[in-house]
């Protein structure tokens, strides 16, 4: 029976020959592993190796069917080793004193033949303990190291192979994330977070408010009609359980028109200092103005206006009868305007300092208060 040799890989003193049974039906795969008397200084051609192998088979009266290769036995699963990128991988292979030849291969590339190193990669070396271990060590493993590694052993009885598949895992890494943005309330917003890793990382989002609950989104987080309470710091986390998750942040500023949240009226006797206060929320920070009737007030004639962030205070240094009444606080930014009334009261008029009406036990006191407002008493 004729065999067609389709591959030959030469090692000093060792030839690997792969053959397929003939007549076009390549259904049997055999492996011939034998010591050939080739000088280590000379590399023989494919025809020389094949002819020498045929002659050797005829001389020792072998059928040249070779020996079954365990690594291609589909009933035997290949062992897997999982290693993280940058770590050191040790691929174990154990031998005994009956071994005459041994070699390491990566796919079809020879790495070591005996103690002779064929690979030019300085990261690769052997780990040996006497004659019992012939393991391969790869330092600073990278993704291109992933693949099948074969330890081929020649014994007195038959060749054996031990095959291991090296899986390289890469920690999750975010390589692109949205920049900080400023939008108007009601706008649609899309945040992006792209990450790489092996296996593919899972991406999650959170808004770091007090609850910090997970949001529905992966690489892209869509926010339809964003509201002011959705402003803040968004966290993107990429994880694949290989190493500590990678985390990036996006700050989202939401602009909205002013809303006056609180006013503080004052009940001040004549001759004392009166203080009126107005608090507003807005983004951007609001600008404030004070009015008495239609007249805009300024820092003059015993008046002092202070603005502290989102709070403004109107101070009246020496209250007179003419100062009692209704004042208007106006808060504005480029998105809108809002105003509110603040009152300076004469003591005993039945109003609280927040400007809300108190329940009066006497009807005439309530009417007198309204009359004072309208006639500027």
Can you tell me the distance from the alpha carbon of 313 to that of 290, in angstroms, rounded to the nearest whole number?
9
Nearest to 113 by CA among 96, 126, 122: 126
- What does the angle CA 39 – CA 43 – CA 46 come to, to the nearest 5 degrees? 120
Domains within the chain, CATH numbers bracketed = 1-23+30-39 (no CATH), 69-170 (2.60.40.10), 178-255 (2.60.40.10), 265-345 (2.60.40.10)
Residue 62 has pLDDT above 80, yes or no: no
pLDDT at 95: 82
User: Which has the minimum average pLDDT: 51-65, 191-205, 229-243?
Assistant: 51-65
Q: How far is CA 326 from the centre of its chain?
A: 56
Residue 231 has pLDDT above 90, yes or no: yes
What is the token pair recorded at 88?
A: 């050191």
pLDDT at 221: 96
CA distances from 353 to 73, 215, 261, 268, 301 (A): 91, 43, 15, 10, 24
The residue that leads in pLDDT, 95 or 198, is 198
What is the token pair recorded at 210?
A: 């007090």
The residue that leads in pLDDT, 38 or 107, is 107
| CB within 8 Å of 328: residues ≥ 6 apart | 290, 291, 292, 339, 340, 341, 342
CA distances from 265 to 104, 165, 211 (A): 89, 79, 36
Name the helix (H) or strand (E) containing 366: helix 363-375
The model's pLDDT over 266-319, given as tens digits with 9 standing for 90+, comes to: 999 999 999 999 999 999 999 999 999 889 999 987 899 999 999 999 999 999
CA distances from 167 to 83, 85, 127, 197, 199 (A): 6, 10, 20, 13, 10
pLDDT at 25: 28
At residue 136 the predicted structure's pLDDT band, cuts being 50, 70 and 90, is very high
Would you say the C-alpha torsion 137, 141, 145, 148 has a positive or negative sign?
A: positive
Work out the mean pLDDT of the chain and round it to a whole number. Answer: 76
DSSP letters along 244-298, please?
SPEEEEEEEEEEEEEEEEEEE-EE--TTSPEEEEEEEEEESPPEEEEEETTEEP-
Can you tell me the distance from the alpha carbon of 40 to that of 60, in angstroms, rounded to the nearest whole number?
24
Residue 352 has pLDDT above 60, yes or no: no
Residue 365 has pLDDT above 80, yes or no: no
Contact 70, 161 (CB under 8 A): yes
Residue range 251-258: mean pLDDT, rounded: 97
């Amino acid at each position: 029976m004729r065999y067609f040799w389709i591959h030959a890989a030469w090692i000093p003193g060792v030839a690997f020959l792969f053959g397929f049974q003939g007549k076009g039906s390549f259904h049997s795969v055999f492996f011939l592993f034998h010591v050939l008397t080739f000088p280590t200084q000379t590399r023989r051609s494919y025809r020389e190796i094949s002819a020498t192998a045929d002659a050797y088979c005829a001389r020792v009266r072998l059928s040249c069917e070779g020996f079954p290769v365990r690594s291609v036995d589909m009933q035997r699963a290949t062992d897997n080793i999982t290693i993280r990128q940058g770590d050191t991988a040790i691929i174990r292979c154990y031998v005994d004193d009956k071994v005459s030849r041994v070699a390491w291969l990566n796919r079809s590339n020879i790495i070591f033949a005996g103690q002779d190193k064929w690979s030019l990669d300085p990261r690769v070396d052997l780990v040996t303990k006497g004659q019992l271990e012939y393991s391969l060590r790869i330092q600073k493993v990278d993704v291109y190291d992933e693949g099948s590694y074969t330890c081929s052993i020649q014994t007195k009885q038959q060749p054996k192979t031990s095959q291991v598949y090296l899986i390289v895992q890469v920690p999750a890494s975010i390589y692109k994330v949205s920049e900080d943005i400023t939008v108007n309330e009601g706008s649609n917003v899309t945040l992006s977070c792209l990450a790489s890793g092996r296996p593919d990382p899972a991406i999650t989002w959170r808004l770091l408010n007090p609850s910090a609950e997970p949001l529905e989104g992966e690489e892209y987080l869509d926010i339809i009609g964003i509201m002011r309470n959705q402003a803040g710091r968004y966290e993107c986390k990429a994880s694949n359980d290989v190493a500590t998750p990678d985390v990036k942040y996006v700050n989202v500023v939401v602009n909205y028109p002013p809303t006056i949240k609180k006013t503080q009226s004052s009940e001040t006797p004549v001759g004392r200092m009166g203080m009126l206060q107005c608090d507003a929320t807005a983004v951007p920070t609001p600008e404030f103005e004070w009015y008495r009737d239609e007249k805009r007030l300024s820092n003059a004639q015993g008046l002092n206006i202070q603005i502290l962030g989102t709070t403004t205070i109107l101070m009246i240094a020496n209250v007179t009868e003419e100062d009692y009444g209704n004042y208007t606080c106006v808060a504005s930014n480029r998105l809108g305007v809002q105003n509110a009334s603040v009152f300076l009261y004469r003591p005993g008029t039945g109003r609280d300092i927040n400007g809300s009406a108190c329940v009066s036990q006497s009807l005439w006191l309530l009417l007198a208060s309204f009359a004072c407002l309208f006639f500027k008493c």
